[in-house]
Amino acid sequence: MSEELNDNGSGEQVTMRLWRGDDTGGEFAEYVMPAQEGEVVLDVIHRVQATKAPDLACRWNCKAGKCGSCSAEINGRPALMCMTRMDTLPPGETVTVAPMRTFPILRDLVTDVSYNYEVAKRIPPFNPRPKTEDEEEAGGYRMQQIDVERSQEFRKCIECYLCQDVCHVIRDHEENKTAFAGPRFFARSAELEMHPLDVNDRRELLQQEQGLGKCNITKCCTEVCPEHIKITDNAIIPLKERAVDAKYDPVAWLGRKILNRSKRAPSEAAATSPATGPAAVQPAVAVHGIPVALDAADATTNGSSPRPSDSGTSAAESSAAEPSETDPSSTDQSPTEDAPTG
């Protein structure tokens, strides 16, 4: 079968440089594979598994860009392996695939993404207004298409966590993970805040517990989003604007200046819920399955465990200083300066 699986006919080859290792260390290993027409990176990884390295760890499910499991850093750029066609990468050059850097390595290309599941639990859940009489009769809520579309954009999210991976606030600062929700969950909060039916108010929580102010809108998250969700423009900046009621945020101020956005109408923003404090909404959920390294004290930090580092190609290797919560000048840097360059 080896021949069959490797049959390509063209005689061309591709060199894959894949991270092999676990939380104690590791190194890149090279695999030379026959090239095949129309393949994506994940196809080649699967052929490496079938013919050369049966224990090569790689997380995947749908291979159709819909489940968000196969996130990795391809030639330094955070991307889905199933949606990265080999023929979009520089021809003849080695293809480097490393695990997402922001999360602890479980093994090879697989990371421990439990941080995200923990953050998800701390978002105050959906809390709809009661149905009107007309709606009870009609059998369901009435909402206009134009009103649901704002939240629908964020509900396209496939939870690949590439935005979390690329975000400097946690990529280079493990210690921020305890007090920062990350772009994925700002989008989730935005989705709920803009949901036509939801009455919870998450603004104070966003500022005080989820570190909304730490985001310095470099737009890296938007750039890597495989669903093309405009996380920064459509989720984070509007959230910052809404949150200024609770806390003055100069970045939001600057964002408003630059983008000439107007604040949400007070009547629109006034919807509140009876109990929305962080303590009241933390469900006692345990998500098992992967070692949880959330607590800063026992976290396996990136610093202490050897990580795949590939300075030549690694994206977001930027020395971006710790994003400032108060210094508006941090937005002066052009978004592309920090952005991954593939």
Question: By CB under 8 A, what part of segment 211-250 binds other proteins?
Answer: 228
In single-letter form, the type of residue at position 99 comes to: P
Rounded to an integer, what distance in angstroms lies between the CA atom of residue 277 and that of residue 190? 17
Nearer to other proteins, 157 or 162 (CB): 157
Please list every residue from 299 through 338 that binds other proteins, using CB under 8 A: none
Least distance between other proteins and beta carbon 18 (Å): 13
Q: Are 184 and 157 in contact (CB under 8 A)?
A: yes
Among 22, 209, 245, 325, binds other proteins (CB under 8 A): 22
Q: Is 167 in the site for other proteins (CB under 8 A)?
A: no
Q: Is 85 in the site for other proteins (CB under 8 A)?
A: yes
Q: Is 37 in the site for other proteins (CB under 8 A)?
A: yes
Please list every residue from 2 through 21 that binds other proteins, using CB under 8 A: 2, 4-5
In single-letter form, the type of residue at position 36 comes to: Q
Among 33, 89, 158, 212, binds other proteins (CB under 8 A): 158
Rounded to an integer, what distance in angstroms lies between the CA atom of residue 50 and that of residue 54? 6
Residues with Cβ within 8 Å of 200's Cβ and at least 6 positions away in sequence, in order, are 124, 125, 126, 127, 192, 272, 273, 276
Number of residues that bind other proteins (CB under 8 A): 74
Q: Is 117 in the site for other proteins (CB under 8 A)?
A: yes
Q: Is 287 in the site for other proteins (CB under 8 A)?
A: yes
User: Cα dist. 94→39, 42, 74 in Å?
Assistant: 15, 15, 11
Q: Is 183 in the site for other proteins (CB under 8 A)?
A: no
Distance of CA 296 to the CA centre of its chain: 20
Torsion, Cα of 195, 186, 116, 48 (10° steps): 100
Among 68, 238, 255, 323, binds other proteins (CB under 8 A): 68
Q: Give the residue carrying structure tokens 């060199």.
A: 15
Least distance between other proteins and beta carbon 159 (Å): 6
Nearer to other proteins, 110 or 224 (CB): 110
Q: Is 62 in the site for other proteins (CB under 8 A)?
A: yes
Q: What is the DSSP letter of 319?
A: -
Binding window for other proteins (CB under 8 A); candidates: 91-99, 150-158, 304-312, 334-342: 150-158
In single-letter form, the type of residue at position 221 comes to: C
Distance of CA 205 to the CA centre of its chain: 20
Among 9, 274, 283, 312, binds other proteins (CB under 8 A): 283
Q: What is the DSSP letter of 98?
A: E
Least distance between other proteins and beta carbon 324 (Å): 32
Please list every residue from 125 through 144 that binds other proteins, using CB under 8 A: 125-126, 128, 138-144
Among 13, 132, 156, 332, binds other proteins (CB under 8 A): 156
Distance of CA 163 to the CA centre of its chain: 3
